Amino acid sequence: MSMKGFYRTAQARLHDKTTARLEFLLRGSPKMRAMLPVIRDQVLLHKEKAIVRTFYPAEQVYVAAVMQEVGINYGVYHSGLNLTDRGKLIEEFNHSPSECMVLINSFSVNSAGLNLQD
């Protein structure tokens, strides 16, 4: 097998695995199936940032897994972050044009006074 053929085979297998994992993640979630095209268009086509707010920490993990699977750069603002890490994440979200395109935030994490504007 040539190097080019090997590369194509490896890419096809990787794509199949990614597609299967994404299909598994989306199977039980009609909300995520509806939300993902909106995020995809906003982030990948229009190069705009997005905020996804969740109620439970497990939902943050789920949304992060989907973002990871589709290759969208994201950050998770959660209660385990110290003040320095929270500040870095918000700074990255506000001022870095290509990093942290989706900020996953929980309603249960105190975000009073959180400035997410440019």
| Tens digit of each residue's pLDDT (9 = 90 or more) over 37-88 | 999 899 988 999 999 999 988 899 999 999 988 889 999 998 888 889 988 9
Give the confidence band of 7 by pLDDT, cuts at 50, 70, 90. very low
What is the tens place of the pLDDT at every residue in 9-41? 545 555 566 678 888 888 888 998 899 899 989
**Greater model confidence, 16 or 99:** 99
Distance of CA 82 to the CA centre of its chain: 21
Q: What pTM did the predictor assign?
A: 0.77
Q: Is 45 left (phi over 0), alpha (psi -120 to 50) or beta?
A: alpha
Q: Which domains does the chain have, with CATH numbers?
A: 30-111 (3.40.50.300)
